[in-house]
């Protein structure tokens, strides 16, 4: 056995604090078009933690073992609906298209309510001038990379929909249920989410400038690196939300619930924070220059 070769192919991963050991072959063979395969293909320089040799990926490591087992054996896990939603968010981030299709098929087989329209139906619809999907059930379908600007999704059921890299500028989501949906790197400028349920949604890297999120449920949402400049977040529930590195310059958070919200490294310059309870929020490294904090609890 070539011990030197075996050691050189070994990879140590730190996924949000959880550590794993695997091989380059495991990460690259089964899903060659995935982000993990690209990372460890040798085309990109990887930065290791200086002392331990672990490659750090800033994601939740809770379900990464399922991802590794899929890459090793081609077996998808059987999970509860909430856990499956969480795993699907990670699968979408890592761009594991094979596992994504199996998980979605499994949810259909276990009785999840079918969407009323398909991706093809949506594409046909958006060829018309004005599109409305008010109150329609579109749960679980893949709407990634489409131009859905100006579309009205008000009151629709959009649970676990994939909106990754979709153009949704000026779209309406008023009182929509988009819990667990994935908006990674989507364009959401000037969108209306008033009263919408986005619990557990992934909005990392999204463009949400001047978006209206008043009264929205944003519990457990991820806004890492999102652009929320001049966003309207009055009375929104941001409990346990992750806004690390987000840009909230000029955003209005009057009356927002910020219990355990993570604003580490966020830009809160000129944000409106009057009478907001910041005591349980994490503000390490946040820029609060010029923020209106009259009456804020710290």
The hierarchical CATH code for the domain 10-109 is: 3.30.710.10
Using CB atoms within 10 Å of the CB of residue 240, give its burial: 0 to 12 exposed, 13 to 18 middle, 19+ buried. Answer: middle
On whether the CB atoms of residues 140 and 160 are closer than 8 A, the answer is yes
Domain spans in the chain, listed from the N-terminal domain onward:
10-109
The predicted pLDDT at position 3 comes to: 46
Question: What is the per-residue burial (b if ≥16 Cβ within 10 Å, else e) of 202-234?
Answer: bbbbbbbbebbbbbbbbbbbbbbbbbbbbbbbb
Q: What is the pLDDT of residues 63-118, one digit of tens each?
A: 999 999 999 999 888 887 778 888 988 998 888 988 988 887 776 665 555 677 78
Residue 62's closest CA among 39, 40, 46, 85?
A: 85
Low-confidence ranges of the chain (pLDDT < 70): 1-8, 43-52, 107-114, 127-130
Contacts of 5 (CB under 8 A, 6+ apart): none
How confident is the model at residue 127, as a pLDDT?
A: 66
Predicted local distance difference test score (pLDDT) of residue 126: 73
Whole-number pLDDT of residue 117: 76
- Measured on CA atoms in the order 209, 212, 215, 216, is the torsion positive or negative? negative
Q: Which pLDDT tens digit goes with each residue over 105-133?
A: 776 665 555 677 787 888 777 766 667 89
Per-residue buried b or exposed e for 90-110, using 16+ beta carbons within 10 Å of the residue's own CB: bbbbbebebbbebbbeebeee
Q: CA-to-CA distance for 177 and 104, rounded, in angstroms?
A: 19
């Amino acid at each position: 056995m070539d011990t030197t070769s075996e050691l050189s192919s070994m990879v140590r991963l730190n996924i949000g604090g959880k550590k794993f050991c695997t091989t380059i072959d495991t990460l690259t063979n089964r899903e060659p078009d995935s982000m993990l395969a690209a990372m460890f293909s040798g085309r990109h320089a990887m930065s290791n933690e200086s002392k331990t040799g672990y490659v750090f990926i800033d994601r939740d490591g809770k379900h990464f073992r399922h991802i590794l087992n899929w890459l090793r054996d081609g077996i998808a896990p059987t999970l509860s609906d909430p856990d499956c939603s969480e795993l699907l968010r990670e699968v979408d981030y890592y761009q594991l298209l094979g596992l994504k299709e199996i998980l979605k098929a499994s949810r259909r087989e276990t009785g999840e309510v079918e969407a009323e329209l398909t991706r093809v139906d949506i594409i046909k619809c958006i060829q018309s001038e004005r599109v409305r999907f008010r109150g329609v059930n579109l749960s679980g379908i893949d709407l990634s990379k489409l131009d859905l600007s100006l579309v009205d999704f008000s009151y629709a059921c959009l649970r676990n929909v994939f909106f990754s890299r979709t153009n949704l500028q000026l779209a309406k989501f008023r009182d929509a249920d988009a819990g667990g949906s994935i908006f990674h790197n989507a364009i959401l400028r000037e969108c209306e989410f008033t009263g919408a349920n986005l619990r557990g949604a992934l909005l990392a890297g999204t463009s949400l400038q001047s978006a209206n999120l008043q009264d929205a449920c944003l519990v457990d949402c991820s806004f890492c690196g999102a652009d929320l400049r001049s966003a309207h977040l009055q009375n929104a529930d941001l409990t346990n939300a992750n806004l690390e590195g987000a840009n909230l310059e000029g955003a209005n958070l009057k009356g927002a619930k910020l219990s355990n919200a993570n604003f580490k490294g966020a830009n809160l310059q000129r944000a409106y924070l009057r009478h907001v309870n910041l005591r349980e929020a994490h503000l390490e490294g946040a820029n609060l220059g010029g923020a209106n904090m009259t009456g804020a609890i710290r």
